[in-house]
Amino acid sequence: MKQFHYKLEKVLALRARREEEAKIALGRAVGELNILEARIRTGAGEQAGAASRRFAPGNSLTEIHYYDRYISRLELERERLIKEKAVAETQVEAARQGYLEASRERKILDKHQEKRRLEYRRAAAAEEIRLTDDMSGGVRARQLAAGLAIAIII
């Protein structure tokens, strides 16, 4: 019996590859988003630390001024990172949609392949039963013919 061959195997492989690429793109987008969130948290911690050290005993007016400028710079950096985070979130959502679409397309072909494989197995089993019946029926016919020939000779 010959093996099952799926005619759309190359298309299935291509869709599986696209799904894998979409998964990698989604992972990268999520990674970038996580990095931005970590940088925002780090900046907030630095800003809180600078604010608590700004009026520490022994700081001169110049040092207080430097702390104020540093806190202002950290605030500007935080606002920039929040804008980048918003962009990154839209990229993550777009990558997620791309992955879901690629996954859906591959799953459709997977189901089609399984359906064809099941049909092939059923047809192969029916063919095997038919051949077995033909062979066993042929043996019985030969036995009957031989018995009839022996009966005619006797």
Residue 2 within any structural domain of the chain:
no
Who's near 75: CB < 8 A, 6+ residues apart?
Answer: 47
Cβ atoms of 29 and 91 closer than 8 Å: yes
How many domains does the chain contain in total?
1
Domain of 57, in residue numbers = 11-113
Distances (CA, A) of 111 to 1, 45, 51, 77, 144: 24, 51, 60, 50, 49
Residue 54 within any structural domain of the chain:
yes
Residue with tokens 């029926």, as numbered in its chain: 137
Residue 107 within any structural domain of the chain:
yes
Residue 120 within any structural domain of the chain:
no
Query: From CA 23, how far away is CA 93, in angstroms rounded?
Result: 12
Query: From CA 69, how far away is CA 123, in angstroms rounded?
Result: 80
Residue 89 within any structural domain of the chain:
yes
Cβ atoms of 126 and 39 closer than 8 Å: no
> What CATH number does residue 59 fall under?
1.10.287.1700
Retrieve residue 29's tokens.
Answer: 């987008």
Tens digit of pLDDT at every position of the chain (154 positions): 678 888 888 999 999 999 999 999 999 999 999 999 999 999 999 999 999 999 889 889 999 999 999 999 999 999 999 999 999 999 999 999 999 999 999 999 999 999 999 998 888 888 887 777 766 666 655 565 556 555 555 5
- pTM attached to this predicted model: 0.71
Residue 130 within any structural domain of the chain:
no
Residue 147 within any structural domain of the chain:
no
Residue 18 within any structural domain of the chain:
yes
